[in-house]
Amino acid sequence: MMVGLVATMTNAADESPRHAPRGAYAKSARTQAAILEAALEVYAESGYRSGTLRGVADRVGISEAGLLHHFPSKSALLAAALDRRDKQAELVIDFDASGPEILRGLIRVVEQNATTPGVVDLFCLLSSEATSPKHPAHDYFVKRYEYARSSIRRAFEKLRDDGLLREGVTAERASVATIALMDGLQVQWLLDRQALDMATELKALLALLVRMDFHDASGSRI
């Protein structure tokens, strides 16, 4: 998850007072936000297939018909909930930043993911189910991985241009390996959270790919 990995960059203008929703629109926006948060909670607890619209509606305190007024189908709700999770990610990666800062951003995202096991579990479950073209989240995950590969590849290209990519490592393979490791670490961590620290393992892999130091929030180095 890669959860939060492809967090979209925020637009400060959209959050300024003159853009703030008012009146009935504001109430509708708040209701939609509450529905999406409830959907993430229900799907994380019960899985997408078992989680029901009624369960989401009950958690918000509205009727199922009221929920459908905002989101016309279960698949539409899922897509919107996943999109909200991306946009609301606490740690936003600026893919226009330097190569080293982007990689440090990936580590911060993994550290954040470790604080939301339910959402990580949901992401792993959905990404597996969504390999079927008929799954409502199939297109979402296809596009997500395309964006992740291209964005992380560009980060490694910047590192290559700065002479920081290790010999024999290509930007394309480094991006694929990084995403594969992040996803694989999540599964192992969900099965046994005492077995490994996802951020530490990601730092160790990245250190094999690039010539740079990685620091955690306390400033320690790997």
**Backbone phi and psi for residue 19, each to the nearest 5 degrees, phi listed first:** -100, -5
**CATH classification (class only), 10-87:** mainly alpha
In this prediction, residue 210 carries a pLDDT of: 95
Name the residue with higher pLDDT: 9 or 166.
Answer: 166
Q: Does residue 7 register a pLDDT over 90?
A: no
Packing angle of the helix pair 138-161, 74-87 (nearest 10 deg): 20
Q: Does residue 3 register a pLDDT over 80?
A: no
Average pLDDT over every residue of 165-169: 95
Query: Per-residue pLDDT tens for 193-214?
Result: 999 999 999 999 999 999 988 7
Average pLDDT over every residue of 11-40: 69
In this prediction, residue 112 carries a pLDDT of: 84
Q: Range(s) for CATH 1.10.10.60 in the chain?
A: 10-87
In this prediction, residue 191 carries a pLDDT of: 94
Q: Does residue 16 register a pLDDT over 60?
A: no
Which range (35-44, 88-97, 176-185) has the least confidence? 88-97
Q: Does residue 222 register a pLDDT over 60?
A: no
SS (H, E, C) the chain: CHHHHCCCCCCHHHHCHHHCCCHHHHHHHHHHHHHHHHHHHHHHHHCCCCCCHHHHHHHHCCCHHHHHHHCCCHHHHHHHHHHHHHHCCCCCCCCCCCHHHHHHHHHHHHHHHCCCHHHHHHHHHHHHHCCCCCCCCHHHHHHHHHHHHHHHHHHHHHHHHCCCECCCCCHHHHHHHHHHHHHHHHHHHHHCCCCCCHHHHHHHHHHHHECCCCECCCCCEC
- pLDDT tier at 215, thresholds 50, 70, 90: low
**Backbone phi and psi for residue 116, each to the nearest 5 degrees, phi listed first:** -130, 65
Domain 99-209: give its CATH code: 1.10.357.10
Nearest of 170, 60, 44 to residue 117 by alpha carbon: 44
In this prediction, residue 217 carries a pLDDT of: 42
The overall average pLDDT reported for the chain is 82
Q: Range(s) for CATH 1.10.357.10 in the chain?
A: 99-209
